[in-house]
Structure 1
Amino acid sequence: MYLTQGLHRALQRHPEKIALTHVGDGFVRQHRFAQLLEDVARHAAALRGRGVAAGDRVALLAPNDDLLVRALYACWWLGAVACPLNVRWSAAEVAHAVADSGARLLLMGDGLGSALPNGLDVPVLRLAALADEAATCPPVPDTRTGGDAVACLLYTGGTTGRAKGVVLSHANFWTASMTRGAELNNAPESVSLLVAPLFHVAGLGRLVGQTLVSGSAITMAQFRPADVLAAIERHGITDVILVPTMLQALLDEPGFAPRRVRSLDRIAFGAAPMPPDLLDRALQAWPHAEFFQAYGLTETAGAVCINLPVNHRSAEARAAGRLQSVGRAGLGAEIEIVDEDGHAVPRGTAGEIVVRGPMVTRGYWRNDEATAAAFRDGWFRTGDAGCMDAEGYLRIVDRIKDMIITGGENVYCAEVEGALRSHPSVAQAAVIGLPDAHWGERVHAVVVARPGTQAPTLDALRDWCRERLAGYKCPRSLAVLPQLPLSAAGKVLKNVLREQARTEA
């Protein structure tokens, strides 16, 4: 199992098929499989000429495009370790990841000079310059490095402190791709749009999986609804991974029309709950499409739970509450719910979600303490609270560390957020715990008002929640923002909300 294997397989089967398309601002670049494989081999030669060898780390700081894809595969061709970095990071965060990984080289996309730290003790090369060098290099043979060899270091988003490098092997990505493929029926005829960043496990995993089945991939550097609609229409895109805010933006785009998106027949979503009204709009807009919800982590190389299409359109499944779940464990993944001591709890009881399987990381790069804390008895501790029903459907309750303890009672933020989002004047909601002299912590709500409505008051939201939740779960304070701060993966940055609340206190 090695990640360049998909390129060799595609070369045998259909060398002239379009493998990769980059949709840029006013231009399109396309690469057939035969050309892509040769370009990767030449890029690997250029990297070798720069001193990169098997096992070396190569940091990559670039938006989604074909230059980045070729560089990623060139790293794996050499047996090197790719370290794609978040383009939204500050210079200090980039410096930390480069130093922590021990990268031999930093490859950068254009227009990212402001993210480059001063005094960086590593050579820096633009991806365009690497491509120019590669054009004059003879191709080198594929090392076919695979199995348990490290393929990637993916740095966590830093929502809980300094980013840690998640160690992911070729086998991790392979098995995660097979897990997704078995449930999503990935096919060579598929054309997948990659708008999820390639420095995020969802985007990178989708690229790997698409290449392994010899499917076509389309990259875009930014998610702009009008451009995405145009790309779907022009290139016959069949599947995409979106977060709910992206899906809502597509539906709200003035140029949206069902005829423009009729090729899109598989839509996967995750990272945040899908509001029921938004899901209903999407189901009506794509009456023929299959919808999948996925749950996974960077540490699991992608999805380990998938909620299948049948549950999104079935009245029986809705009545059974399956849309409130993230589905069931995928092929090869084992999931349990455990208590604080690591013992399995009865079905329907909340506890920590733990995972094991061949897609799970071996740990964090050069961080034995964090690795030891993340595993217990061979199970990876996700840090997410959840419960599982009698049929194996997993429901996410919250991040355990975001659980609020107020007056001795546990409050799961996700439950309060669900009640808030059901209010007719609330478009988005997040809940955090803030220090309180009397209660220890208080429930603090942060909401975005729905367009065309008046911003809700604290009293109105408390009354609304009191009809749906126990009194101690209702918000005791409120902030109304124009938008919620989101990570590149589409998750609410609750650390930012806490800092804002502390500043305003």
Structure 2
Amino acid sequence: MILALMRIRAALLPYRTGLTPNERLELATSTGAEWRWCPESKILVPIKHAAGAVSASPWSSDSELALLVKTSGSSGGPKVVMLTRENLLVSAAAVNRRLGFGSDDVWLCCLRLSHIGGLAIIHRWALAGATLVLHEGFDAQAVAEDLQRCAVTHVSLVPPMLVRLLETGVAPPRSLRVVLVGGQALSPVLAERALDAGWPLFLTYGMTEATSQIATSAHALERVPADGRVGPLLPGVEIDRRDGFEGPSRLRVRGPMVMAGYANPRRVAGQGLAEGWFETSDLGGIDAAGELCVVGRADDVLVIGGNNVSLVRVDGLLRAAPGIADLAVVALEDTIWGHRLVVVYAGDLDEPAFERWCDGTLSGAERPRTFKRVPALPLLDSGKYDRIAIRALAL
């Protein structure tokens, strides 16, 4: 359906199951959607918009609108991104070249097809004329079995998926050349664990607004990445450098894979962009070797008791504790200190022991004040951490 709609110049907006009729209508109205596919009857039905709803204008871009995708909303309200046929094809071609993905290869897709991470794999597979192994969601044991059984060469994972795959104890098959890890920062501790087990890790950085990726490793990692280094930019991608800037700032991205804009009832291009530039919430820049470095988010540095505290640094330090399988650090407001840190984690270490381990390892301002042990951290359908649910646990 994805590929057929693109051929007839129609755009697809995937949405999760379980939406109420009112929620579906609100989504359709906010994006100017005109038809809905009914899986029960296998027909298209026209969407009846409320009286006074704004009608969509004819698409005015030079490239046909092909896909509308909701951002993950992992740390805030989601938006809907408009991607064109050119966005999808340019991105797929660039990633295929970077990762050496061709007609003889096999990509295992266990990422949701309602998110850009999974949808982008569909276009890479189709463009390469390769083989696709498609999973309905992520099951670590099923992925481990199919990696071997299907002679998989490429697989995409987010870090929580990599954790669960390593916990199965399965060895990487000889056919596997690329384990593409993205969606969120990969901790050095987890990276070292995977490399020691022989997994061929490639890092990637991107966002829905850039059709999945803007930078990807040029080769499999030989050592744990330092200082947030990801890899070279994909061809055609530009990163803005402000005059006189000597450190990390908000990344601004431009290129042929950057979105047409955020969806709106009239489907007018350009919303969320400034002269073609998209400004992210991530801090970073290009190093001397020409590789993208992402050092954290603009809102990840907090003032606690008069001290600047990086949540990225705290997260990395805490993951080195023995018996910790997974964790997330949450900053709650505090009337005295400005913020107090809570760590929500899964692992064998109990809360008092984890608290004792932090003594002498973290500075006073960096130390979490509360430790919340859970069986597993809640995840979104995309496999990323569900930041809203984790924050609720911390509260």
TM-score (norm 1): 0.67
What is the rounded CA distance, in whole Å, between the counterparts of 2:331 and 2:22 in structure 1?
A: 28
**Paired letter, 1:224:** D
Unaligned runs of 5+ in 1: 1-70, 108-123, 132-145
Q: 1:412 corresponds to which residue?
A: 310
Residue 482 (structure 1) aligned with residue 386 (structure 2): no
Q: 2:203 corresponds to which residue?
A: 293
What is the rounded CA distance, in whole Å, between the counterparts of 1:428 and 1:344 in structure 2?
A: 39
Residue 282 (structure 1) aligned with residue 175 (structure 2): no
**Paired letter, 1:330:** L
Asked if 1 retains the 8 angstrom alpha-carbon contact of 2:110 and 2:118, the reply is yes
Asked if 2 retains the 8 angstrom alpha-carbon contact of 1:101 and 1:365, the reply is yes
Residue 270 (structure 1) aligned with residue 182 (structure 2): yes
What is the rounded CA distance, in whole Å, between the counterparts of 1:192 and 1:208 in structure 2?
A: 12
What is the rounded CA distance, in whole Å, between the counterparts of 1:130 and 1:386 in structure 2?
A: 47
Asked if 2 retains the 8 angstrom alpha-carbon contact of 1:105 and 1:125, the reply is no
TM-score (norm 2): 0.84
**Paired letter, 1:266:** V
Shift of the alpha carbon at 1:221? Answer: 0.8
> Equivalent of 2:27, from 97, 100, 111?
97
Pairwise CA RMSD: 3.1
What is the rounded CA distance, in whole Å, between the counterparts of 2:352 and 2:152 in structure 1?
A: 40
Deviations 1:292-341 (A, max 9, x none): 1110000000111112335x115xxx5xx547422231211112465xxx
What is the rounded CA distance, in whole Å, between the counterparts of 1:440 and 1:86 in structure 2?
A: 38
Asked if 2 retains the 8 angstrom alpha-carbon contact of 1:425 and 1:455, the reply is no
Runs of 4+ in 1 over 6 A off after TM superposition: 88-92, 370-373
Asked if 2 retains the 8 angstrom alpha-carbon contact of 1:149 and 1:169, the reply is yes
Deviations 1:374-425 (A, max 9, x none): 4345421111123443223333232323443334544332111011111113
Asked if 2 retains the 8 angstrom alpha-carbon contact of 1:147 and 1:169, the reply is no
Residue 129 (structure 1) aligned with residue 42 (structure 2): yes
Residue 433 (structure 1) aligned with residue 366 (structure 2): no
Shift of the alpha carbon at 1:172? Answer: 0.8
Q: 1:45 corresponds to which residue?
A: none
Shift of the alpha carbon at 1:363? Answer: 1.3
Asked if 1 retains the 8 angstrom alpha-carbon contact of 2:106 and 2:130, the reply is yes
Q: 1:333 corresponds to which residue?
A: 237
Shift of the alpha carbon at 1:481? Answer: 2.3
Residue 83 (structure 1) aligned with residue 13 (structure 2): yes
The aligned runs of 1:109-128 (5 Å cut-off) are 124-126=38-40
Asked if 1 retains the 8 angstrom alpha-carbon contact of 2:82 and 2:260, the reply is yes
Count residues with an aligned counterpart. 378
Q: 2:222 corresponds to which residue?
A: 313
Shift in CA distance, 187/418, structure 1 to aligned 2, threshold 3 Å: same
Deviations 1:250-292 (A, max 9, x none): 33226x355xx22222211112333445434433444xx6421
What is the rounded CA distance, in whole Å, between the counterparts of 1:486 and 1:309 in structure 2?
A: 29
Whose Rg is larger?
Answer: 1
Shift in CA distance, 454/161, structure 1 to aligned 2, threshold 3 Å: closer
Asked if 1 retains the 8 angstrom alpha-carbon contact of 2:188 and 2:316, the reply is no
What is the rounded CA distance, in whole Å, between the counterparts of 1:480 and 1:167 in structure 2?
A: 39
Shift in CA distance, 91/295, structure 1 to aligned 2, threshold 3 Å: farther
Asked if 2 retains the 8 angstrom alpha-carbon contact of 1:154 and 1:201, the reply is yes
What is the rounded CA distance, in whole Å, between the counterparts of 1:423 and 1:383 in structure 2?
A: 29
Shift in CA distance, 158/98, structure 1 to aligned 2, threshold 3 Å: farther
Higher fraction of helix: 1
Shift of the alpha carbon at 1:448? Answer: 2.1
Shift of the alpha carbon at 1:351? Answer: 1.6
Shift in CA distance, 151/366, structure 1 to aligned 2, threshold 3 Å: same
Q: 1:180 corresponds to which residue?
A: 95
Q: Percent identity?
A: 29
**Paired letter, 2:294:** I
Unaligned runs of 5+ in 2: 45-60
